[in-house]
Amino acid sequence: MFGWLGRTVVRHPWWTIVAWLVAAAVAVVLAPKLDTHSDQQDFLPTKYESVQAGKLADRAFPSGSQKVSNELMVVKRSDGQALSSTDQQKIGQIAKSLQDKHISGITAVATSAQTLSQNHRIQIVMVPLPANFSDQKLEKKNEDAIKKLRVAATQEFQGTGLHYGISGNVSSNIDNAESDNKTLALIGIATIVLIVTLIIIIFRAPIAALLPIIVIAFVLQVSNAVTAIIGKAFDLKFDASFEQLILIVLYGIGTDYILFLLFRYRERLRLGEDKKTAMMVTVERVGEAIASAAGAVIIAFLVLLLAKFKSFGSLGPQLAIAVGVMLITALTVVPAVVSLLGRAVFWPSKSWKKEPKASMYTRLGNAVGRRPLVTAVASGIVLLALASVALGFKADYDFSSGQPQNTESAKALKDLRSSLPPGLTDPTQVYVQGNGPLDRQALDQFRQKITASGYGQAGQAELNPDKTVAKIPVVLKLNPNSNEAIDLVKGPLRDTVHQNAPPGTKVLVGGTTAVFADINKINTRDLSVILPVAVALIAIILALLLRALVAPIYLVIAVLLGFTATLGATVTLFQGAEGKEGLMFQMPMILYLFVLAIGTDYNILMIARLREEAREGHEPRRAAAVGIQHAGPTVAAAGVILAGTFAVLVLSPMSFLAQIGFGVAIGILLSAFVVSTFFVPAVTALIGHAAWWPGHADRAKKPGPPATEPYELAGRPH
């Protein structure tokens, strides 16, 4: 099949390029706008209590007041001393003055003696705003309102000796938007510079360096268009927070596939083949490995459709589409373009003509071929040592702690939490639903029982118009996004309110902490289902590619070791060295996506080369040595570039992205340099011909070249 594809593309390069451009143009023109969401509750199934609470609130409070962004103006003295009675009076006057300005979008600016902290260090001015994360117009209106409020408040507080800062979801979005945009631009530029620089170092050829950038820029537009079309057809919801990841993945994996082709194309040119024949043979030899690698990645991504948490359930197809479009492009457009350029793709360098002598990978290959047992044990110990640390993983749901801490909203939040209950920023909502009008006295008794439980302060009940539903805000004593608060809401608090519900009523617990409590449950379930299914499907792909049952077993074990070792390395840095409470809760699934799935690429490329060398007549240990010599540089270059593109995320001031950047980068490096270069070839050499049982796909096509030393390279295999 791949031989036919290579011949067709190379013989008709212009038709191939034109056909791809026409198909791309049609997709882009027909594509609707990509539908993205940022409210995590939108991705939970309706059976979860927090979602049911949200839907009840939507019905009972149709004005939209049930979803509120509690923007808090945190006021303190500029000298850090306690607020005097005069200060408190002045704060009340400023709040009334701001209220009287009738700033568009601001319905209330209120404070009272109850919002003064016990130590009198700060006083809160409440600025509640209607919130709906899926309504972009409302969010924009809220942001404009807070910007105007800040301008007015700055004028009011001038010369008073008081200092204010506004904290909340809306103000945080404002403060971080500029940083996010700069970070995205920086990441994009750094990614391109990194790819171009590394490929120039590898090939010393500017055309080869620019080829991935130009091709992938087109692929990105097409994959986004196809994603939007499929998303609309199947009503998929896409998480806006993952947009940067799509960009990084496409540049990383796209560059990998193009490198696989360029390395083998250069190899065929060195053997004296003309530019067209060289590309035909390249597609025939490497096409199967690229298609199998992409297939494994696509299937691993699509397994996310099994996720109950639909943020990941939609990310899977989004990534799978991007990889699918890249695969088609890599096996059609790229060979067509390179076959037209021929040797010019490596201009002006002449080094492509010469085979490196006694290269590092020749020495590494010989070492692995001589001592496969030592190599397998040593690399296995490294992986197991890191994997053991993964047992200490803790999930972190506090997005605010991962944001830049030098903004107004972050500083105000820190001041607030130092003097008032942390839960004030995002109260947990308890909803009471009756069959008829609710009894006020029963609600008051219920509210008092919640407060008496010691978990937090329950506020006054707010009734809906027909008095059949009540909403009671509960200000937790804990940071509402902490693991402790999530465990509290998930267990004791829900148990308490359910057991003490007023007679004849149904009680539901909602709010951000409750949403994260349900996400905590669903993530554990998703990982326990998705990981085994993905591993099984990857094993099937490997078995079909290799026509063997033994090799896929240890390849899958190697990939799982790489995955857990990566999680362990990330835990070591962030929870150990930096002392963070935990890693962002998406980390295991993100590492699954980009280490387990994409890391399989390198295993496939290496094992396919080991099989190819065995077919050339080399016995197992020598095949490992030769395979490392020729596939090692490709795996190393692809791994460094892909790891580098993710490592760029470490530049982000967002802790979540920095964790992803480090985690995936170290995972790719482990996959490329430990698993694929040492562990897999060493185990394959140890097992020998039995690795290819029962298909014996390593059966030699011709006798191997003679060698006095079985592990030394005796000339270049053709």
Q: What is the pLDDT of residues 660-698, one digit of tens each?
A: 889 989 999 999 999 999 999 999 999 998 999 887 766
pLDDT tens column, 415-465: 888 888 878 778 899 999 998 899 999 999 999 999 998 888 898 888 988
Q: Cα–Cα distances in Å, from 5 out to 10, 281, 282, 287, 514?
A: 8, 10, 11, 9, 53
Please give the backbone phi and psi of residue 581, each rounded to the nearest 5 degrees, phi first: -60, -35
pLDDT at residue 560 above 60? Answer: yes
CATH class of 409-517: alpha beta
Q: Is 409-517 the same fold as 357-408+535-718?
A: no
pLDDT at residue 349 above 80? Answer: yes
Q: How confident is the model at residue 306 (pLDDT cuts 50, 70, 90)?
A: confident
Task: Supply 657's token pair.
Answer: 């992205």
% of the chain residues with pLDDT over 70: 89
pLDDT tens column, 459-470: 888 898 899 999
**Residue 667: exposure state from Cβ atoms within 10 A (0-12, 13-18, ≥19):** buried
Mean pLDDT, range 181-192, rounded to an integer: 75
Q: How confident is the model at residue 240 (pLDDT cuts 50, 70, 90)?
A: low
Say if residues 586 and 593 touch (Cβ distance below 8 Å): no
Pick the CATH number of 67-167 from 3.40.640.10, 3.40.50.300, 3.30.70.1430, 3.40.930.10: 3.30.70.1430
Query: For residue 188, what pLDDT is reported?
Result: 74
**596 vs 265: which has the higher pLDDT:** 265
CATH of domain 357-408+535-718: 1.20.1640.10
Count of H helices and E strands in the chain?
24, 12
Any idea which residue has 């985690």 for tokens? 663
Q: State the pTM of this model.
A: 0.76
Q: How confident is the model at residue 709 (pLDDT cuts 50, 70, 90)?
A: very low
pLDDT at residue 185 above 70? Answer: yes
Residues with Cβ within 8 Å of 288's Cβ and at least 6 positions away in sequence, in order, are 2, 545, 608
Report the run of H or E that residue 164 belongs to, with start and end. strand 162-167
Q: Cα–Cα distances in Å, from 666 out to 93, 303, 568?
A: 55, 24, 10
**Residue 577: exposure state from Cβ atoms within 10 A (0-12, 13-18, ≥19):** exposed
Say if residues 61 and 116 touch (Cβ distance below 8 Å): no
Pick the CATH number of 1-30+204-354 from 1.10.645.10, 3.40.50.300, 1.20.1640.10, 3.40.20.10: 1.20.1640.10
Query: Which segments of 210-273 are extended strands (E)?
Result: 238-239
- Name which of 77-81, 237-241, 570-574 the model is least confident about: 237-241
Mean pLDDT computed over every residue of the chain: 85
- The domains of the chain are located at 1-30+204-354, 67-167, 357-408+535-718, 409-517
Residues 580-597: b if buried by 16+ CB within 10 A, e if exposed? bbbbbbbbbbbbbbbbbb
pLDDT at residue 121 above 50? Answer: yes
